[in-house]
Amino acid sequence: MGSAGTVAELVQRQWGDHRPGLKHEDTVLSHHQVASGAAARAALLADLLSADGEPHLGVLLDNTPEFPLWLSAAALAGAAVAGINPTRRGAELARDILHTDCRVLVTESAHLPLLDGLDLPGVRVLVTDTDAYTALLAGYAGAKPGEAVLREVGRGTRMLLYFTSGSTGAPKATICTQGRLAAAGQSLVDHFGVRRDDVHYICMPMFHGNAVIADWAPALAGGAAVALRRRFSASGFLDDVRTHGATYFTYVGRAVQYLLATPERPDDRDHPLRLGFGTEACAVDAARFRERFGVRLVEGYGSSEGGAAIQRTPDTPPGAVGRASPRDDLAVVDPETGEERAAAVLDARGRLLNGDDAIGELVNRGRTPFEGYWRNAEADAARVRGGWYWTGDLFFRDPAGFLYFAGRTDDRLRVDSENLAAAMIENILARWSDAAAVAVYAVPDPVAGDQVMAALALREGAAFDPGGFAAFLAAQSDLGTKMAPRFVRIVAAMPVTATNKVHRVALRREGFRSADPVWWNGAGGPYERLRGAELAALLGEYEAHGRAHLVSSGD
Q: State the DSSP string of 310-345.
A: EE--TTPPTT--BEE-TT--EEEE-TTT-PBPPPP-
Quote the CA–CA distance of 222 and 225 in Å, as a whole number.
9
3-class secondary structure per residue, 449-463: CEEEEEEEEECCCCC
Instruction: Return the pLDDT at 458.
Output: 95
Closest CA to 432 of 473, 383, 392, 390: 473
Instruction: Return the pLDDT at 304.
Output: 73
Quote the CA–CA distance of 119 and 401 in Å, as a whole number.
52
The pLDDT tens digits along the chain (555 residues) read 567 899 999 999 999 999 999 999 999 999 999 999 999 999 999 999 977 889 999 999 999 999 999 999 999 999 999 999 998 889 889 999 999 999 999 999 999 999 999 999 999 999 999 999 999 999 999 999 999 999 999 999 999 999 985 544 678 999 999 999 999 999 999 999 999 999 999 999 999 889 999 999 999 999 999 999 999 999 999 999 999 999 999 998 778 988 998 999 999 999 999 999 998 787 788 899 999 999 999 988 887 788 998 988 889 998 889 999 888 899 999 988 999 999 999 888 777 888 889 989 999 999 888 999 999 999 999 999 999 999 988 899 999 999 998 877 777 787 876 778 888 899 899 999 999 999 999 898 887 778 999 999 999 899 999 999 999 999 988 787 788 999 999 999 999 888 788 888 889 889 999 899 999 997 667 899 998 888 999 999 888 877 776 786 543
Domain ranges of the chain: 7-299, 301-411, 416-551
Helix (H, G, I), strand (E, B) or coil at 251: strand
The CATH number for 416-551, chosen from 3.40.50.360, 3.90.1150.10, 3.30.300.30, 3.40.50.2300, is 3.30.300.30
CATH 2.30.38.10 fits 301-411, yes or no: yes
Instruction: Return the pLDDT at 524.
Output: 67
59-90 pLDDT tens trace? 999 999 999 999 999 999 999 999 999 988 89
CATH class of 7-299: alpha beta
- End-to-end CA distance of the chain: give it in Å, rounded: 60
Give the CA radius of gyration of the chain.
24
Quote the CA–CA distance of 247 and 197 in Å, as a whole number.
9
Annotate 388-409 with b (16+ C-beta within 10 A) or e (fewer): bbbbbbbbbbbeeebbbbbbbb
Instruction: Return the pLDDT at 83.
Output: 97
Quote the CA–CA distance of 144 and 148 in Å, as a whole number.
8
List CB contacts of 5: < 8 A, sequence separation 6 or more: 154, 155, 178, 179, 182
Instruction: Return the pLDDT at 555.
Output: 37
Quote the CA–CA distance of 541 and 535 in Å, as a whole number.
10
Four-CA torsion 144, 150, 153, 158, nearest 10 degrees: -120
277, containing H or E segment: strand 275-278
3-class secondary structure per residue, 162-215: EECCCCCCCCCEEEEEHHHHHHHHHHHHHHHCCCCCCEEEECCCCCCHHHHHHH
Whether 301-411 and 416-551 share one fold: the answer is: no
73, containing H or E segment: helix 66-77
